[in-house]
């Protein structure tokens, strides 16, 4: 957890707008579409792992109240700045540890968790009866060929996929109607620099793991490996990166 905090404090935002790529989703599961269908104008929504608030401010519906939280103080500073620019109302950003959630019991209608670690029991506690958990995560096999070439990466050494861990923990917490959906996406990056920008801004090649912590978070990318990967994955659409996510929806 300390390594992840250091990483995201250095990144400071979650804005990918300057990275040029196109996306082909092979799975019909969109967390924001589901969020809009499940929410009403009277909903109270908690967004865990909000980063710089970019996705929340762009994609979340207008509701009674939204609270966006992140472990990184630098990310929350960015979120506050983005909120002021957006002019949106009824939104609050604050620092919070997902494993020590200082929120009210039975308070939120919906909890959203995107690409972040969770404690399912604490989420269950803060949801109202009938409340919904929406989760989107990065699975072990995400960008796996690139991870294999480097011999490391996010969840690379984990025995059990994080999707399975989350699914089991959510069931154990008492949620019902728990649905797990594998999400497969192809991304095509316009140039080598766009691919490198992604790898520097995300923990794809960091050894964030359920079982180990890596102290070498500032290692430089090996350009020889990058060049070999590009050579084998260059297409007429761009440089192919195969993404493996997962979605979970559950009800209290």
Report pLDDT digits (tens) over 31-64. 999 999 999 999 999 999 999 999 999 999 999 9
Whether the pLDDT of residue 13 is over 80: the answer is no
Strand intervals (E) in 106-218: 108-114, 127-138, 176-189
Residue-wise pLDDT tens digits, 57-112: 999 999 999 999 999 999 999 999 999 999 999 999 999 999 999 999 999 999 99
State the pLDDT at residue 211: 39
State the pLDDT at residue 207: 62
Confidence of residue 15 (pLDDT cuts 50, 70, 90): low
- The single-letter DSSP state of residue 73 is H
What is the pairing mode between strands 44-48 and 21-25?
A: unpaired
What CATH number is attached to the domain comprising 13? 3.40.50.150
State the pLDDT at residue 71: 92
- The single-letter DSSP state of residue 97 is B
Smallest CA-to-CA distance from 136 within 159, 112, 156 is with: 112
Cα 111 from Cα 2, distance rounded (Å)? 24
Range of the domain at 205: 2-251
Whether the pLDDT of residue 228 is over 60: the answer is yes
Whether the pLDDT of residue 9 is over 60: the answer is no
Cα 88 from Cα 128, distance rounded (Å)? 25
The total number of structural domains that make up the chain = 1
Cα 70 from Cα 120, distance rounded (Å)? 16
Q: Using the CB atoms, write b or e for 227-251: b if 16+ within 10 Å.
A: eebeeebeeeebbbbbbbbbbbbbe
State the pLDDT at residue 212: 41
Longest C-alpha distance within the chain, in Å?
A: 53
Residue-wise pLDDT tens digits, 137-183: 999 999 999 999 999 988 888 889 999 999 999 999 999 999 999 99
> 203 with 3: CB under 8 angstroms?
no
Q: What is the mean pLDDT of residues 185-197?
A: 95
State the pLDDT at residue 68: 98
State the pLDDT at residue 14: 54
Residue 3's CB is within 10 A of a number of other CB atoms, namely 18
Q: What is the mean pLDDT of residues 180-203?
A: 93
Smallest CA-to-CA distance from 138 within 70, 210, 66, 238 is with: 210
Cα 119 from Cα 102, distance rounded (Å)? 13
């Amino acid at each position: 957890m300390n390594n992840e905090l250091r990483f995201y404090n250095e990144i400071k935002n979650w804005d990918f707008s300057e990275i040029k790529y196109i996306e082909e989703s092979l799975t019909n599961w969109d967390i924001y579409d589901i969020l809009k269908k499940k929410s009403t104008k009277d909903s109270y929504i908690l967004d865990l792992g909000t980063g710089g608030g970019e996705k929340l401010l762009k994609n979340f519906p207008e509701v009674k109240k939204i609270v966006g939280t992140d472990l990184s103080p630098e990310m929350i500073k960015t979120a506050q700045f983005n909120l002021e620019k957006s002019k949106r109302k009824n939104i609050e950003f604050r620092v919070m540890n997902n494993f020590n959630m200082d929120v009210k019991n039975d308070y939120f209608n919906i909890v959203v968790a995107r690409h972040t670690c969770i404690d399912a029991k604490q989420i269950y506690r803060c949801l109202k009866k009938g409340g919904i958990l929406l989760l989107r995560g990065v699975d072990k096999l995400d960008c796996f060929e690139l991870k294999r070439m480097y011999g490391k990466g996010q969840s690379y050494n984990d025995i059990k996929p994080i999707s399975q861990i989350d699914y089991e923990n959510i069931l154990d917490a008492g949620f019902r109607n728990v649905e797990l959906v594998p999400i497969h996406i192809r991304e095509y990056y316009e140039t080598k620099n766009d691919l490198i920008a992604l790898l520097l801004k995300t923990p794809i090649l960091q050894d964030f793991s359920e079982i180990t912590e890596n102290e070498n978070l500032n290692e430089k990318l090996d350009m020889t490996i990058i060049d070999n990967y590009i050579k084998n994955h260059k297409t007429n659409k761009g440089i192919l990166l195969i993404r493996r996510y997962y979605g979970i929806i559950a009800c209290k």
